[in-house]
Structure 1
Amino acid sequence: MKRIATLLALIVLPFAGLLAQDFRELTPQERKELRKKEQQQLDSTSYAKAVEALSAQTWVLEAYTIQGQRGSLYFVNSTTNFVMMDKEKSTVQLASPYRAGYNGLGGITVEGSISGYKLETDKHGNVSVRFMVVGVGINAEIFITLTANSNRGEAYISPNTWGRRITYKGNIVPLEDSNVYKAMPL
Structure 2
Amino acid sequence: MKKIVSFVVLALWVALGHIHAQDQQDQKRLLREQRREERRAQEERQDSLQFSQAFQAINNKAFTLEANQVVFKYGQTAFVSSNTNFVSVNDDQAVVQIAFNIPAAGPNGLGGITVQGSVSGYQVTTDKSGNVYVAMNVIGAAISAAVNITLYSGSNQASVTVNPNFNSNQLTLNGQLVPSSQSTVFQGSTF
Give how far 1:162 is off: 3.2
Q: 1:78 aligns with which of 48, 58, 82?
A: 82
SS in 1 for 2:169: coil
Letter in 1 for 2:107: Y
Identity percentage over the alignment? 37
Matched residue SS, 1:27: helix
- Using the size of structure 2 for normalisation, the TM-score is 0.83
**1:67 match:** 71
- Cα distance in 2, alignment partners of residues 163 and 135 from structure 1: 18
Letter in 1 for 2:106: G
What root-mean-square deviation, in Å, do the aligned CA atoms of Structure 1 and Structure 2 show? 1.3
Q: How many pairs were matched up?
A: 163
Where do 4+ consecutive residues of structure 1 move more than 3 Å?
Answer: none
The separation in 1 between residues aligned to 2:136 and 2:168, in whole angstroms, is 18
In structure 1, the residue matched to 2:97 is: 93
Q: 2:55 aligns with which of 44, 51, 61?
A: 51
Match of 2:134 in 1: 129
* 2:159 is aligned with 1:154: yes
1:118 deviates by 0.2
Q: 2:98 matched to 1:111?
A: no
Q: Find the partner of 2:186 among 177, 181, 186.
A: 181
Correspondence for 2:172: 167
Mapped partners of 1:184, 1:59: distance in 2: 20
2:135 is the alignment partner of 1:141: no
For 2:67, give the aligned amino acid: A
Q: Note the residue ranges of structure 1 that are not aligned, 5 or more in a row.
A: 1-23
Cα deviation, residue 100, structure 1 = 2.5
Match of residue 34, structure 1, among 21, 30, 38: 38
Which consecutive residues of structure 2, in runs of 5 or more, have no partner in the other structure? 1-26
Q: Which has the larger radius of gyration?
A: 2
Q: What is the match of residue 18 of structure 1?
A: none
Tell me how far 1:163 sits from its aligned partner: 4.6
Deviation readout 1:88-132 (Å, 9 max, x if unpaired): 000000001213200000110000001000000111111000000
Q: TM-score if structure 1 supplies the norm length? A: 0.85
Q: Secondary structure at the match of 2:57?
A: helix
